[in-house]
Amino acid sequence: MRLRELVRLAKIRWRIEHDYRELKTGLGLAHLEGRSWMGWHRHVTLVSAVHLFRTELRLTSPKAAGAA
């Protein structure tokens, strides 16, 4: 495996771990105390939508994301 590919894969792994940690701690993925499938599904869907919004904001206008 080339060094360039190895570095790319390492960066992807870091990004995935960082996003998961952000989902759990910053966006409340781990805070659900519901008992139903629908409640869990709704919670995960909303957290995922907020994560998508924040990611889009970070990628399109870094200054706005840093100020939030």
pLDDT in tens, 31-59: 888 789 999 899 999 999 999 999 899 88
pLDDT of 52 reads 93
Query: Sign of the CA dihedral 20, 30, 41, 58?
Result: negative
Domains of the chain: total? 1
Task: Give the whole-angstrom CA distance, residue 57 versus residue 30.
Answer: 23
Task: Give the whole-angstrom CA distance, residue 51 versus residue 49.
Answer: 5
Predicted confidence (pLDDT) per residue in 3-29, tens digit? 999 999 888 988 899 989 999 988 888
Q: What is the pTM of this model?
A: 0.67
Determine the residue type at 14.
W
- Domain boundaries, position 26: 3-67
